[in-house]
Amino acid sequence: MDETAVLAEFDRQVRQQPQADGVVEREPGIVRVVSAPDGWTGISWADLDGLDVDAVIAAQVARFAGQAWEWKYYSHDRPGDLPARLVAAGFEAGPVEGLLVAEIAALPLDVELPNGVRLVPVVDAGSAELLVRVHDEVFGGDHSRIGVEVLRRPDTVQAVVAMHGERVVCGGRVEFHPGTGFASIWGGGTVAEWRGRGIFRALVAHRAGLARAAGYRYLQLDASADSRPILRRLGFAQLATTTPYVLSG
């Protein structure tokens, strides 16, 4: 995989052409998404070289006035001091994650689950509630929006939960980006007592298989420091890092 070329394609196909429920707006150096309160709102792509960076930042703050939103920064975005300028403008940086990408054809797609664990597709309100429940337990916070989104967008989002009896132990989703070569996976957190048993890897393989069946070439995700070593062993390459810079409304 030509990592430089794939990163450029990811920027062009996914970041510059976001497929969101909200309105996509463009101006020089900026692509932003303005969504309803239950959707993602923020800057999906930025290249501010040659522009008045502080003035562009101030214009985005004014555009999103009154709501919380995110400037999704990637380590190759320009200028290099953009993070410092965002912090100076009042943004708070979230955890740094790795932008990982793999060619699906090179990934292991065999799903090997521990004895007694089964995968259940998220297709109705009951299974969506299980997905939300395991996200809330593993990551904290309220993830009810994810359950709504999965059921609302069945053509572009598919989700699955791992069950042991009636206990939900893991869950995640794959999002398809029509018209591109990329699908992305999200979630995948496993409850504490079931970690280290291969469930995370099995859910990656399952969702990669769904993406392959849908005709996608690449699988992308934002990975925490804990999951990066596992994913690299599976065949993912880290192309950049990404950091959410958040401004409260």
pLDDT at 22: 80
Rounded Cα distance between 228 and 19, Å, is 26
Q: What is the DSSP letter of 12?
A: I
Rounded Cα distance between 41 and 23, Å, is 9
Mean pLDDT in order along the chain per 10 residues (249 residues) = 97 93 92 84 96 98 92 98 97 97 95 94 97 96 92 94 97 96 95 95 96 98 93 96 92
pLDDT at 64: 92
Tokens of 114: 């521990």
Burial of 194 by CB count in 10 Å (0-12 exposed, 13-18 middle, 19+ buried)? middle
pLDDT at 21: 74
pLDDT at 249: 67
The phi, psi pair for 212, rounded to 5°, reads -60, -45
Rounded Cα distance between 143 and 133, Å, is 8
pLDDT at 35: 84
Rounded Cα distance between 112 and 89, Å, is 48
| Inter-helix orientation angle 125-139/144-152, to 10° | 140
Q: Would you mind telling me the total number of residues written for the chain in this entry? A: 249
- The model carries a pTM of 0.93
